[in-house]
Every structure is written in structure tokens, then in C-alpha cells.
Chains A and B, each alone.
Chain A
């Protein structure tokens, strides 16, 4: 059974997302499109198998939901905050490059972290070191650089670590 699943449905979450995207693209829930979407959702992951060498398991759906909520809220706050920084006096800004030591190891978790950092308050991720241990981040206004780093580690990295890496150890 699990053998069969691995061949036909190697990435259930990817399939589900594709199916959802198909229905949204067509803006419909009629059965024909549901079926066509399902066929595509099964075919595409199989055809692109070599791009997805490792399978993703979501260990803690609750933590994931909470993380998404926090990120959406932070995007809202980040936008207003950056809007205020931009409209304020530019001489008061203290831009900084911050090196954030990473505890995450899975590439997917690191890319989600980098993505989140770009979307949230006044920070853009610039570069990942070759050994994947430090992330270089540019902050628009970091008067207390250590506090910014701690916030990122605490707010985003910890839940991501729980979601993607708790099952492996």
C-alpha cells in the first residue's frame, strides 16, 4: 500500500495545493473541473519527480496554522511600519546588515524562513552562506541589531524548526 502511494502520490501536500490552485484558477467548484484538477494534481508531481528529491512531512499542523497566522499579521504590521519609515525622515533610519546564525537544516525550511523575513518588518534576506549556516539580512532600520535577530529567531525560526524538523530527531 505504502509502495503504491509512493509511486502514485509521492507528494500529497503538493498534489493538494495544485488541485486547489486549479480550482481557484478556474474559479469554480463544478465536478468536471474537480476531476480534471485531480488528474493534473496526480500527474504533475509524478512528471516533475526529479525536482523534489525529499518528501515533505508536516509534523505539527497546529503550529503551522499558528505560524501562518503570525506571518499574515506581521505582513500587515510590516507594511504599515515600512510605510511610516518611508514617509518619515530618512536621516533617522539606521540600515544594517545582520548575520543570523541558523539552526534550521532542511533547505525547504530555510527558504521559507528567508521568504518570511522578506515579507515581514523592515528586513530583506540577501544571502545564504555556502555552508547554509548563516543568513545575511538587510534591515531598513535596526537601532538594536541583536534584538532584531532575536525576534527573527524566536518568532519565525523556532516554529519552522518544530514544523519541519521535529520528526527527524
Chain B
């Protein structure tokens, strides 16, 4: 395995780990439920994507055949993460979960 390839793989895996970490930090740090939802839905999709891209490249190079089934994990993440977030937000609205005071309620110019 050439050196630049190893470098690329490490960069992808590290980037993925970093973004996932940021997502978790967001989950812990942000002040209310609705804002916390943003961390895990955004940062982790790309984080997971980067790790999986690394996996595709590594196993394709290792076995000499193109390995693409990781794409499915990305696809399922992209489908399930928003649906999960949407349902949690909807449940929270239904329960009238506390939101921080400065939250705007904007209904647009009609």
C-alpha cells in the first residue's frame, strides 16, 4: 500500500471520528432538546460517511475487487437519521418540551 494512500485513509477515518465526536459534544452541550437534535443528525451523517468511504477504499485496495456494500450503510443512515430526528422533534412538540427563551417563532410574511 503506497504511503499517500495510507495517509488518505487515515485522514478519512480521523475526519469521521472528529465529526462524530463533535456531534456528541453538541448533544451534551446545547441548551435545549430541539437544538440538541441538530448535533447527532448532521455531524454524524458526514462522520459516518467519511469512515465508510475509508472502508470502501481500504477493502477495495486490499482485495483487489471493488467493494461497495458500505454505500448501503451510508444510504440507510441518510434515510433513517432525518426520520428519527423528525419523529423525536414531533414527539417533543407534542409533549411541549421546554425550549430556551430566545427561540423565535416565525410564521413568515403572508
Contacts and interface: CB of A to CB of B under 8 A. Distances in A.
Contacts of A142: 104, 106
A95 B89 contact: no
B79 A115 contact: yes
Interface in B66-82: 67-69, 71-72, 78-79, 81-82
A124 B29 contact: no
Contacts of A21: 72
Interface residues of B, number: 47
A124 B106 contact: no
A145 B90 CA distance: 21
B103 to A, nearest CB: 5
Contacts, number: 135
Contact of A99 (B37, B42, B106): B106
Contacts of B8: none
Contact-residue bracket for chain A: 35 or more
Given A25-B72, A100-B108, A101-B108, A138 B30 contact: no
B93 A90 contact: no
A166 interface: no
A55 B74 CA distance: 26
Interface string A91-134: 00111111111000000000000111111001011110000000
A145 to B, nearest CB: 4
Given A86-B29, A124-B38, A115 B104 contact: no
B82 A119 contact: yes
Given A95-B99, A114-B82, A24 B105 contact: no
Contact of A140 (B19, B38, B78, B102): B38
A167 interface: no
Contacts of A80: 46
Interface string B37-63: 111011101110000000000000000
Contacts of B45: 75, 79, 119
Nearest to B104: A96
A117 to B, nearest CB: 8
Given A115-B82, A119-B41, 18 more contacts: A79-B43, A79-B46, A83-B19, A86-B38, A86-B43, A98-B106, A118-B86, A119-B45, A119-B78, A122-B42, A124-B41, A124-B82, A124-B86, A126-B90, A126-B93, A127-B89, A145-B108, A146-B106
